Amino acid sequence: MTIHDITVPLSPDLPVYPGDPPVTCEPVTRIARGDTANVTRITMTTHSGTHLDVPGHCRDGGATVDHLPLSLLMGKARVLDIRGERAIGRHELSRLPVRGEERLLLRTDNSLLWDSPGFQDDFAHLTEEGAAFLIEAGVRLVGIDYLSIEGIASGITVHRMLLDAGVVILEGITLAEVEPGEYELVCLPLKIAGGDGAPARAILRGREPKGGETPFDPHTTRWPVA
């Protein structure tokens, strides 16, 4: 079994979306100062780093993160290799194994941007046509390897298209070390009451079949226990 941690570390150096406050980590108590324990105050938005967008992010009265069914956030997921494309539309997606998949993670050139200081606005993103294609295909969760699913110029149009159709958005993952293919996604957001989104820890589980083996199925008793 292989476990890929696709979560970016939270730190003051983490890029944030333009207009959002930075992540801060402030010591509250420190053993080195004579306190009994180390405690840190963290300040960040609900959309810092690896995080989920839910309908309440773009619509007042929309579903909030504490009401998301965990079954949507755990299960079979397919990583699509779409490097080399900046605007990801219907044409780019129609060539890939999209139909029949509930959870899709888009591996783009964005995964390399995490090593660059500050926010990079020339990132690969989903277009309105791409969003419409995913909705038609029955996708229920889509993830991308930077801080927004859509480009700066389009505002929140793509967000609203996806979220209004019940497609949850996972943003801020890193897929630089993940090969395209089928995995099991485990994505657990902070349970924030009334939250318009939430930071999450996201991992992918899977393994390569050895010679003569059938493909790995994480939903059978063949799952290794150790």
pLDDT tens column, 51-104: 999 999 999 999 999 999 999 999 999 999 999 999 999 999 999 999 999 999
pLDDT tens column, 117-173: 999 999 999 999 999 999 999 999 999 999 999 999 988 999 999 999 999 999 999
Where in 96-145 does DSSP place strands (E)? 103-107, 125-126, 141-144
Nearest to 111 by CA among 177, 202, 168, 179: 177
Percent of the chain residues topping a pLDDT of 90: 89
User: 33 or 213: which carries more pLDDT confidence?
Assistant: 33
57 included as an active-site residue: yes
Residue type, 158: V
Catalytic residue among 57, 67, 91, 159: 57
Concatenated DSSP letters of 180-199 = SEEEEEEEEE---TT-SEEE
CA torsion 57→62→68→74, rounded to 10°? -60
Nearest to 105 by CA among 67, 56, 136, 140: 140
